[in-house]
Amino acid sequence: MAQEIKDLIAKIQQEGIQAAEEQAAQIKAEAERGSLKIISEAKIQAQRIIEQANNQARKLDDSTQAALKQAGRDLLISLRQEIISMLDRLIKLDLRQVLTAEELSGIIATLIKNAPLSLGSQIIVSLNKQDKDKLEQGFLRKLVEATKKPIVLKSADGIDSGFVISFDAGKSIFDFSGQALSDYICGRFRPELNKILNPG
């Protein structure tokens, strides 16, 4: 009887240990499955974060490249404008120095002497006040005598150098003002300037 009890206790212990081992194995397997799932989800999440970071980096790089290209274009445009503006100022300054009253009198005389008689009767020459005053001191009388044409000198506020001439009492004009000559000269230089500033 005692032996039977011992055997029964041993059997119960054996079954308990076996059940505990099975339960432990089951818990371990569930834990492993859970940890694999967590690792898998973490890898997916990490991959997603990396892809988002790469996309943002590409967008930032594209945006930076576009901004740099635009900044380069803006710089070239402003440089071109500054060079043209400087060229315009230099030409105007030079024209003021070159187009003295004496030079103007020679140019105007040549234009009037070579103008066809059919252009009209009254000739109007508009210039700045200083040049007008100088030309009236002797040039006008000589020119009227030489051409036998009525010539009127007028001062014009908008003319800093050069002159504007009309052969039909102001109905039409030929513009030889400093601004018109400067625009013409700058216009001749602009294509070459664009080639220099746009080598590609």
- Domain span at 24: 1-98
Q: What are phi and psi of 116, to 5 degrees?
A: -65, 145
Run means of pLDDT, 10 residues per run, the chain, 200 residues: 67 69 74 77 82 84 84 80 79 77 84 70 87 85 79 88 85 85 79 68
CATH of residue 179's domain is 3.30.2320.30
- Count of the separate structural domains present in the chain: 2
Location of structure tokens 């210039």: 127
| Same domain as 106, residue 137 | yes
Domain boundary among 77, 98, 119: 98
pTM, entire model: 0.54
Can you tell me which residue has the tokens 């009227």? 144
**pLDDT the model gives residue 126:** 92
Among candidate residues 67, 83, 98, the one where a domain is terminated: 98
Shared domain check, 153 and 90: no
* DSSP letter, residue 168: S
In degrees, rounded to 5, the angle at the alpha carbon of residue 182 between the alpha carbons of residues 193 and 195 is 10
Cα–Cα nearest to 196, from 83, 70, 67: 83
Q: What is d(CA 80, CA 190) in angstroms, rounded to the nearest whole number?
A: 9
Q: What is the pLDDT of residue 179?
A: 85
